[in-house]
Structure 1
Amino acid sequence: MPVAAAVGVGVVGSFLSSRAQKKAANSAANAQIEASEMGVEEQRRQFDAVQKLLKPYADAGLSGLAGQQDLLGINGAEKQQAAIDGINNSAEMQTYLQQGENAILQNASATGGLRGSNTQATLAQFRPQLLNQLINQRYQNYAGLTALGQNAAAGTGNAGMQTASNISNLYQQSGAAQAGAALAQGQANANMWNGLTGAIGQIGGMKMMGMF
């Protein structure tokens, strides 16, 4: 093969090699970017699932907190009174009241003090004491709901932060892939131009030597 033809083949080979390198770099980058996007979507899907799973508990916590605030009077005297009246008129209150009063009367009857002042005083004190006890119990029940909601909210927040961190890492990987592809293409171009420059120099040298 003549020298000039060999140089020409080298130039074409350099060009084809550069194009192949750039195509491979683009393919690798696109594959990484696609994988990162799929990872991002999966992370978001998982977070949405966690959020949906914990939402009923978070909502219950809000209800519990509102109930506590009503009983404490934080939401106003009207709501506080309504909360207490709700307990006082509840089926739970009426059941315990009836059972307690019957027990007091039966005890008084057994001891011969059914009409005594002590029995009447005990009956008079029993209802407010029972109401106070049920108010405290209701508050504790609300506190349990509040704690449940707080834990659910914290779980949702932690899941959100973890999801954000994972998505950030995936986007960093995607960015790194794009940067790597750009660098690879730049290197391929540089190699191609170096090959062309070398070939041109080689041809020029051969001309000066009178080889063709």
Structure 2
Amino acid sequence: MYLSRVLIDINNRKKMKDLTHVGAYHAWVESSFPNQTLNSEGLFPRKLWRIDKLNGNRYLLLISEDKPDLKQLEKYGIHNSAQSKEYQSFIDRLKIGDYLRFRLVANPVISKPNSGIRGRVLPHVTSEYQEKFLMDRSEKNGFLLNPDEFAVSEHEFVNFKHKGSKTPRLSKVTYEGKLTISDLDKFKNLLLKGMGKKKAYGFGMMTVIPIGE
């Protein structure tokens, strides 16, 4: 597994003109693996990615089974800003009881039933229910949360243009805080495969660092 990052060239208007919806970012990610092959299910290996904002800059952060082509990863990035490092050894050092700082981008939604059948899928739009969404899914994903030690740090809507002419918007919520690993296998699965819906479009990726780093 590899963890990669590139600084997005947000001041290049020509480049940014292409990145108006999360489907375009998905295409960028896929194009960074020009030599990838189909797996046993006839699909390309799944990647997790998200956009991080730091000190006025925007980064594309990526977790993948294979190392991306750094030149292709810089398609919409700053020249020589792409980096990639082996990630599996960090995952393997984690253990039950580890107390970690985390960041997660998710798409918290709720299905409103209609006459006993599955209804419309709607986003959680208040921080109270967004935080409850994560609390409700923490243990099944192998970690424990203290309500006082995490919060929603950002909420915005992003364009999702996939098929057809409509361009719906998706609710993008960034969580930051501290957690404790309670089930190692479930937690490793979360870090490598993500959480929730729309994983191919910039959601579900959690990263962690030990407290103090």
Q: TM-score scaled by structure 1?
A: 0.15
Structure of higher CA gyration radius: 1
Answer 1 or 2: which has greater strand percent: 2
Answer 1 or 2: which has greater helix percent: 1
